[in-house]
Amino acid sequence: MSTPAQVAANQANSQHSSGPKTDQGKASSCLNNFRWGFCGSFTLLKSEDEEEFSALQAGLNAEHKPSTVTEVLFVEKMAQHHWLSQRAIMLQNVSMGDDRLSLRDKERQFSLFLRYQTTNDRAFHACLNTLLKLKAEKRKVKIGFESQKRKEAEETRRQSNETRKQELHQWAVLLAEGKVTHQQVLTSGAKLPLVRAAVEEETRALAQKAA
């Protein structure tokens, strides 16, 4: 255990160093754990080709055609995780070929980079699977919407056909009634001269009796 004097000395020393003060010092401090860029935010190493990474992103965008902000983010993450996986594979080869390292150090470095590769491979597939599920759900919603619209259109056509049938039936009834009325008028017109002749004959007979 530390003595009271040692504890007091450590506390006093800690007051003399509270981290970097300048912007440059803070920026350098942020990169202390960035040696290979597997932790923290994604950044290309100076030795890596930015155009190659852009081509990777463009290829994934062309393949998956993200149409929402969420889909765009998943495609970006896929590009980053694949890039980091390839970076880890490259560093595995470098570490195993570095004659300055002992066999134990080589194995330790190789295991570390292999773990980074596996982590990013899993993250890539997790993003891919989630993206595909999102797209599948969106297709189901679209298909359901289109199916509903088709049903509504079919129902509208059915109702329109039913209304047309009812209107045609009403017109057929009116036409039949019109034909009957017309026939009745014709029949009445044919009987009218006979009635008139009978009335005239009866009128003459009455006139003769009266004379």
Quick one: angle between helices 50-64 and 69-96, nearest 10? 140
Least confident of 7-16, 129-138, 165-174: 7-16
Counting residues of the chain whose pLDDT is more than 90, the rounded percentage is 33
Cut 0.85: pTM above it: no
Most confident of 141-145, 156-160, 183-187: 156-160
pLDDT, position 8? 59
Q: What is the mean pLDDT of residues 76-87?
A: 96
Using the structure block, give the residue that is written with the tokens 């080589």. 106
Chain position carrying tokens 């026939």 = 183
Token pair 């599920």 in the structure block, residue: 133
Name 96's Cβ contacts closer than 8 Å, sequence gap at least 6: 106, 110
pLDDT of 129 = 97
From CA 96, how far away is CA 107, in angstroms rounded? 8
pLDDT digits (tens, 9 = 90+) for 49-70: 999 999 999 999 999 999 999 9
Task: Residue 56: count other Cβ atoms within 10 Å of its Cβ.
Answer: 16
Q: Token pair of 81, please? A: 């995780």
Mean pLDDT computed over every residue of the chain: 78
pLDDT at 13: 53
pLDDT in tens, 1-21: 556 665 555 555 555 545 445
- 178, pLDDT greater than 50: yes
Sequence length of the chain is: 211
Q: Is residue 41's pLDDT more than 80?
A: yes
Residue 114, C-beta contacts closer than 8 angstroms, at least 6 positions apart: 88, 92
pLDDT over threshold 80, residue 207: no
Going by pLDDT thresholds of 50, 70 and 90, the confidence category of residue 27 is very low
> Residue 91 above 70 pLDDT?
yes
| Contact assessment for residue 85 and residue 42, using Cβ atoms and an 8 Å cutoff | no
Gap between the Cα atoms of 200 and 54, Å rounded = 114
Structure tokens at 96: 């195993």
CA distances from 168 to 67, 95, 128, 161, 174 (A): 50, 89, 59, 10, 10
